Amino acid sequence: MANISDTIRAALDSFVNDLSSLIQEAALESVEQALAEASTIPGRGGRGARAAVASSSFVSLSQSRKKGAKRTPEELEQLIKKLHGYIAKNPGQRIEQIAQGLDISTKELNLPAKKLISEKKLSTKGQKRATTYFAK
């Protein structure tokens, strides 16, 4: 009986070692691939590969817009409506939570939120990062 237990233990140890090796190889390949993709991103000279990979994974609301270009009035109006609707359904959330719920960066929500507040369609409670938003 002890012989069977030893055989099973040896087989399990072998399996765990093989699996561990495969996981390490897969992780190494994915890191190499990410670094290779980061080095081929144009206009990223001087920045570390980590920053390039992180910024390349960000998906903008509008892919057709170039960096620094203004949003069209239609895009802005659509985002304002989307933001107001979300806040009406989810009152009392902070801008970070709203951005996560809408899958948009907080930077892109700043102007629409300010416009809604100035139009008295949103009210706020709190200050700075603790600000929570409510639809009127």
The CATH fold of domain 73-135: Arc Repressor Mutant, subunit A (1.10.10)
At residue 41, the pLDDT reads: 61
Low-confidence ranges of the chain (pLDDT < 50): 47-62
Among residues 90, 101, 82, the alpha carbon closest in space to that of 135 is found at 90
Residues 6+ apart with CB under 8 A from 65: 71
The helix (run of H) or strand (run of E) holding residue 123 is strand 122-125
Nearest in space to 86 (alpha carbons), one of 64, 103, 66, 72: 103
pLDDT digits (tens, 9 = 90+) for 71-101: 888 999 999 999 999 999 999 999 999 999 9
Task: Say what the pTM is.
Answer: 0.52
Single-letter amino acid code for the residue at 1: M
Domain residue limits, the chain: 2-56, 73-135
Residues in the chain: 136
User: What pLDDT shows up at residue 43?
Assistant: 58
